[in-house]
Chain A
Amino acid sequence: MIKVDKITLGVIQAGLQQVCDEMDLSFSRSAFSPVISEANDRSNGIYSAINGSLISQGYNGLPVFVGTMEYSTSEIIRLIKEEKVEKPYPGDIYIVNDPYLGGTHLMDVRFAKPYFRNNKICFWLSNTGHWPDIGGSVPGGFSASANSVEQEGLRLPPVKLFKKGILDKEIYSIICSNIRISEQRIGDVKAQEAALLVGEERLNHLFNKFGDKLIHNSIEELRKSGSNQMKSFINQIPNGIYKSKAYVDSDGIKNVPLEINLEVKKQKDKLIFDLSKSSLPCIGPMNSVFATTKSSIYLAMRHIFPEVAINGGAFEPLEIRRPSGTFLDAVYPRPVSGCAAEVSQRIAEAVFLAFVNVLKHRITAAPAGTSGNFALGGFNDLKDGNFVMYQLSGGGYGGNSLNDGISNGCSTIGISKAPPVEIMEQKFPVLYNHYSIHDKSSGAGEFRGGFGLDYEIEILCKEATASFVMDHGRFGPPGVLGGTDGGKNKVKIKRKNKKDYVPEHLSKEQDLRLKKGDKVQIQTPGGGGFGNPKKRKKHLIINDILEEKLSRKDALKIYGKKII
Chain B
Amino acid sequence: MVQIKDNLVGIDVGGTFTDLICFDSKSKSYNFTKVFTSAKNQSQGVLNAIDKASINLKKQDLIIHGTTTTTNALLERKISKTALITTKGFRDVLELGRRTRPFPYGLIADFKPLIPRNLRFEVEERIDFQGNVLKKLNESELLKILKKIKELNCDSIVIHFLHSYANSYHEVKAKNLILKNWPNKYITAGHEILSESREFERGVTASINASVQPILENYIYDLQQRLKSNGYKKELLVMNGNGGTVSSKIVSKEAAKTVMSGPASGVIAATYVSKLSKVKNIITYDMGGTSTDVSLVVNNKPAVSSETEIEYSMPVHVPMVDVRTIGAGGGSIAKINEAGLLEVGPESSGSDPGPICYGNGGKNPTISDANFLLGRLNPKSLNIKENDKIKEDTELILKNKISVKLKLNNYQSAEAILKIANNKMANAIRMVSISVGEDPREFSLFSFGGAGPMHACELARELDIPKVFIPARPGLTNALGCLVADLRQDFTQTLNTSLEETNIKNLHSILEKFRSDGVSLIKKQKVEIEKFYIEFSLDMQFLGQTHIIKIPLKDAKPSKNFINKEFENVYFKRFKVKLEKILPVIVNINVSVIGKRKELDLKKLINFTKSEKISYRKVYFNGKWHKTPTYLRENLFPKFKKTGPAIIEQLDTTIVIHPKDNFFVDDFGNIIIEIYND
Q: Smallest Cβ distance from B570 to chain A, in angstroms?
A: 13
* Interface pair A34/B574, CB less than 8 Å apart: no
B96, CB-defined interface residue at 8 Å: yes
Q: Smallest Cβ distance from B653 to chain A, in angstroms?
A: 27
A436, CB-defined interface residue at 8 Å: yes
A271, CB-defined interface residue at 8 Å: no
From A30, A228, A233, A420, residue with most partner B Cβ within 10 Å: A420
* Interface pair B434/A184, CB less than 8 Å apart: no
User: What separation, in Å, do the CA atoms of A436 and B546 have in the docked complex?
Assistant: 23
**Contact among A6, A18, A229, A412 for B406, CB-based, below 8 A:** A6
* Interface pair B338/A229, CB less than 8 Å apart: yes
Question: Of B42-50, B104-112, B478-486, B606-614, which stretch is located at the interface?
Answer: B104-112
Cβ contacts under 8 Å, A302 to chain B: 105
- For A415-452 the 0/1 string (1 means CB < 8 A from B) is 11111111101100001111111000000000000000
* Interface pair B96/A453, CB less than 8 Å apart: yes
Cβ contacts under 8 Å, A10 to chain B: 341-343, 420, 423
Cβ contacts under 8 Å, A181 to chain B: 544
User: What separation, in Å, do the CA atoms of A228 and B427 have in the docked complex?
Assistant: 25
A410, CB-defined interface residue at 8 Å: yes
* Interface pair A190/B577, CB less than 8 Å apart: yes
**Contact among A190, A226, A436 for B89, CB-based, below 8 A:** A436
**Contact among A38, A60, A233, A303 for B547, CB-based, below 8 A:** A38
Q: Smallest Cβ distance from A16 to chain B, in angstroms?
A: 11
- For A71-92 the 0/1 string (1 means CB < 8 A from B) is 0000000000000000000000
Cβ contacts under 8 Å, A61 to chain B: 104
Q: A7-B416, A18-B427, A407-B95 are in contact. Are A226 and B339 (CB under 8 A)?
A: yes
User: What separation, in Å, do the CA atoms of A410 and B574 have in the docked complex?
Assistant: 30
Q: A30-B576, A303-B106, A403-B110 are in contact. Are A37 and B547 (CB under 8 A)?
A: yes
* Interface pair B342/A418, CB less than 8 Å apart: no
* Interface pair A407/B96, CB less than 8 Å apart: yes
User: What separation, in Å, do the CA atoms of A405 and B110 have in the docked complex?
Assistant: 7
Main secondary structure of the interface of B (DSSP, over half): loop
A394, CB-defined interface residue at 8 Å: yes
* Interface pair A423/B198, CB less than 8 Å apart: yes
- For B586-622 the 0/1 string (1 means CB < 8 A from A) is 0000000000000000000000000000000000000
From A10, A30, A410, A547, residue with most partner B Cβ within 10 Å: A10
Q: Smallest Cβ distance from B336 to chain A, in angstroms?
A: 9
Q: Smallest Cβ distance from B421 to chain A, in angstroms?
A: 11
Q: A6-B342, A10-B420, A229-B337 are in contact. Are A34 and B434 (CB under 8 A)?
A: no
* Interface pair B95/A437, CB less than 8 Å apart: yes
Cβ contacts under 8 Å, A502 to chain B: none
Which of chain B's residues 301-345 have a Cβ closer than 8 Å to chain A? Answer: 337-343
A531, CB-defined interface residue at 8 Å: no
B545, CB-defined interface residue at 8 Å: yes
Q: Smallest Cβ distance from B311 to chain A, in angstroms?
A: 14
Select from chain B the residue with minimum beta-carbon distance to A17.
B427
**Contact among B93, B419, B542, B546 for A11, CB-based, below 8 A:** B419
Q: Smallest Cβ distance from B372 to chain A, in angstroms?
A: 20
B100, CB-defined interface residue at 8 Å: yes
Cβ contacts under 8 Å, A423 to chain B: 197-198, 546
A14, CB-defined interface residue at 8 Å: yes
* Interface pair A409/B416, CB less than 8 Å apart: no
User: What separation, in Å, do the CA atoms of A448 and B525 have in the docked complex?
Assistant: 53
**Contact among B431, B434, B577 for A186, CB-based, below 8 A:** B577
* Interface pair B431/A22, CB less than 8 Å apart: yes
* Interface pair B197/A435, CB less than 8 Å apart: no
- How many of chain A's residues have a CB under 8 angstroms from any CB in B? 86
User: What separation, in Å, do the CA atoms of A434 and B118 have in the docked complex?
Assistant: 18
**Contact among A225, A306, A408 for B106, CB-based, below 8 A:** A306
* Interface pair B92/A437, CB less than 8 Å apart: yes
B380, CB-defined interface residue at 8 Å: no
Cβ contacts under 8 Å, A410 to chain B: 99-101
**Contact among A306, A405, A549 for B117, CB-based, below 8 A:** A549
Select from chain B the residue with minimum beta-carbon distance to A235.
B338
Q: Smallest Cβ distance from B328 to chain A, in angstroms?
A: 13
Select from chain B the residue with minimum beta-carbon distance to A61.
B104
* Interface pair A229/B339, CB less than 8 Å apart: yes
B90, CB-defined interface residue at 8 Å: yes
* Interface pair B101/A425, CB less than 8 Å apart: no
* Interface pair B545/A37, CB less than 8 Å apart: yes
Cβ contacts under 8 Å, A34 to chain B: 544-547
Select from chain B the residue with minimum beta-carbon distance to A11.
B423
From A402, A421, A433, A546, residue with most partner B Cβ within 10 Å: A421
Cβ contacts under 8 Å, B163 to chain A: 422, 425
Cβ contacts under 8 Å, A68 to chain B: none
A94, CB-defined interface residue at 8 Å: no
B253, CB-defined interface residue at 8 Å: no
* Interface pair B339/A63, CB less than 8 Å apart: no
User: What separation, in Å, do the CA atoms of A34 and B108 have in the docked complex?
Assistant: 27
Q: Smallest Cβ distance from B471 to chain A, in angstroms?
A: 29
* Interface pair B434/A22, CB less than 8 Å apart: yes
* Interface pair A408/B97, CB less than 8 Å apart: yes
Q: Smallest Cβ distance from A505 to chain B, in angstroms?
A: 24
B15, CB-defined interface residue at 8 Å: no
User: What separation, in Å, do the CA atoms of A306 and B106 have in the docked complex?
Assistant: 6
From B105, B162, B546, residue with most partner A Cβ within 10 Å: B105
A357, CB-defined interface residue at 8 Å: no
A364, CB-defined interface residue at 8 Å: yes
Select from chain A the residue with minimum beta-carbon distance to B336.
A6
A134, CB-defined interface residue at 8 Å: no
B195, CB-defined interface residue at 8 Å: no
Cβ contacts under 8 Å, A432 to chain B: 89
Select from chain B the residue with minimum beta-carbon distance to A10.
B341
Q: A181-B544, A229-B338 are in contact. Are A25 and B118 (CB under 8 A)?
A: no
Q: Smallest Cβ distance from B377 to chain A, in angstroms?
A: 21
* Interface pair B340/A408, CB less than 8 Å apart: no
* Interface pair A233/B105, CB less than 8 Å apart: no
Q: Smallest Cβ distance from B164 to chain A, in angstroms?
A: 10
* Interface pair A30/B406, CB less than 8 Å apart: no
B581, CB-defined interface residue at 8 Å: yes
Which of chain A's residues 139-196 have a Cβ closer than 8 Å to chain B? Answer: 181, 183-184, 186-187, 190-191, 194
B640, CB-defined interface residue at 8 Å: no
Which of chain B's residues 519-540 have a Cβ closer than 8 Å to chain A? Answer: none
Select from chain B the residue with minimum beta-carbon distance to A314.
B339
Q: A417-B99, A434-B89 are in contact. Are A425 and B105 (CB under 8 A)?
A: no
Select from chain A the residue with minimum beta-carbon distance to B423.
A11
Cβ contacts under 8 Å, A309 to chain B: 339
- For B424-436 the 0/1 string (1 means CB < 8 A from A) is 1001001100110
User: What separation, in Å, do the CA atoms of A475 and B582 have in the docked complex?
Assistant: 45
B281, CB-defined interface residue at 8 Å: no
B191, CB-defined interface residue at 8 Å: no
A491, CB-defined interface residue at 8 Å: no
Q: Can you report 10 A-B residue pairs in the complex whose CB atoms are below 8 A from each other? A: A14-B427, A184-B579, A229-B337, A398-B107, A402-B108, A403-B110, A410-B100, A419-B546, A420-B200, A436-B91
- List 15 additional contacts besides A190-B575, A434-B90; criterion CB under 8 Å: A11-B420, A14-B427, A18-B430, A21-B431, A34-B545, A59-B104, A186-B579, A190-B576, A306-B106, A364-B107, A398-B107, A402-B108, A410-B99, A419-B546, A548-B117
Q: Top 10 closest A-B pairs, CB basis?
A: A434-B89, A229-B339, A394-B99, A547-B117, A306-B105, A418-B99, A34-B546, A225-B339, A408-B96, A306-B106
Binding site for B on A (CB under 8 A): 6-7, 9-11, 13-15, 17-18, 21-22, 25-26, 29-30, 32-34, 37-38, 59-61, 63, 181, 183-184, 186-187, 190-191, 194, 225-226, 228-229, 232-233, 299, 302-303, 306-307, 309, 362, 364, 367, 392-394, 397-398, 400, 402-403, 405-410, 412, 415-423, 425-426, 431-437, 453, 546-549
Binding site for A on B (CB under 8 A): 88-93, 95-101, 103-111, 116-118, 128-129, 134, 162-163, 197-201, 337-343, 406, 416, 419-420, 423-424, 427, 430-431, 434-435, 437, 496, 542, 544-547, 574-577, 579, 581-582
